[in-house]
Structure 1
Amino acid sequence: MTSPQDLLQQLDAQDIHYQRFDHPAVFTCAEASMLAPLPVGLPSKNLFLKAGKTGRYLLLCLPASARLDLKALGELLAIKNLGFASAERLLAALGLTPGAVSLLAVINDRAGLVDVIIDQTVAQHDTILCHPLVNTSTLAINTGDLLRFLDSCHHPARVMPLPCLPS
């Protein structure tokens, strides 16, 4: 698995610029919102889902305040039994623990089992915030650069409006 330091070296090698913010460990969006100074960018969250019995996974990025409608997403993507993946599956597939889920983690998906979906609202912002494989740091990365990084990891992002429940 790629270490956080190796990831940063990969980003540098690909000329992907980022602003790094180190902070105490955060496990939820609510905890992250308490950080000062807040990184520039739309507060977002990442969800790691198991795509039924297909053996595949979804890594979603959506606004932090959004509540995903899991049933509607399953219907939209024609995936039966879509649900949250266990901590064990997250560790096996992406080398992460809960609280550190990040789009950047696809660098560890050497088996090619993870599909990336970014909510259209998030993708429309200039900057996306990502943990660099640990929840004690946050990177503010230009959206175009992040999409380029995902492509380089053979995980092109699908950008679409994700179905959310009313707040």
Structure 2
Amino acid sequence: MLQKQDVYNLLYEHNIPFEITDHAPLFSMDDKPNVELLSPDRDAKNLFIRDHKRENYYMITVRGSKRVDLKTFRKDHQLKKISFASEEELWDILKIQPGHVSPFCLLHDTEHKVHYFIDSDYKEGLIGIHPNKNDATVWLKGADLIFLLEEQGTTVEYIEI
């Protein structure tokens, strides 16, 4: 399981430039008003969802200021009925606790069960995400994140939200 320092080491090993903002633990987007972020308009929130039969799992990453309507998302992507995955599913598949969800935890999904949807806003420029721990934000290019995930076998799809 990748701890925070393991994420940093992985980025160093791949020569991916990044910056770190250490801060108090953030459990939701509402927790950040007192945190000074490098690029507040580029921070991301992550949703881990599943279909009603627990056959398909998805992570959605969008800008923190955006709202994801799951009904519309389901229709737009021709998915079965979806809802948030349970804490147990989060741990079993991504080896992460609630409040720490990050695209980096997709690297724990060795069976590639999770289809990753990322806001097309992140095709260019920075993205700010937790390094599998909610007391820091890692800032890197969205394209570098996608490269890393695809190299590990994650299925990635850009979306418009």
TM-score between the two structures when normalised by the length of structure 2: 0.92
TM-score between the two structures when normalised by the length of structure 1: 0.88
CA distance in 2, matches of 1:161, 1:2: 29
Mapping of 1:12-161 within 5 angstroms?
12-36=12-36, 38-40=37-39, 42-121=42-121, 123-161=122-160
Q: CA deviation at 1:54?
A: 4.8
Give the number of equivalent residue pairs.
Answer: 160
CA distance in 1, matches of 2:139, 2:96: 19
CA distance in 2, matches of 1:126, 1:146: 11
Which blocks of at least 5 consecutive residues in structure 2 are unaligned?
none
CA distance in 2, matches of 1:56, 1:65: 26
Conserved 8 A contact 2:119-2:160: yes
CA distance in 2, matches of 1:21, 1:109: 26
Q: CA deviation at 1:120?
A: 1.8
Sequence identity percentage: 27
Aligned amino acid, residue 35 of structure 1: V
CA distance in 2, matches of 1:60, 1:34: 25
Conserved 8 A contact 2:43-2:129: no
CA distance in 1, matches of 2:142, 2:120: 12
Conserved 8 A contact 2:129-2:137: yes
Conserved 8 A contact 1:42-1:125: no
The CA RMSD measured in Å over matched residues stands at 1.5
1:100-122 Cα distance to aligned partner (Å, 9 max, x none): 1111111100111011101123x
1:122-153 Cα distance to aligned partner (Å, 9 max, x none): x2440001101110111001122111111112
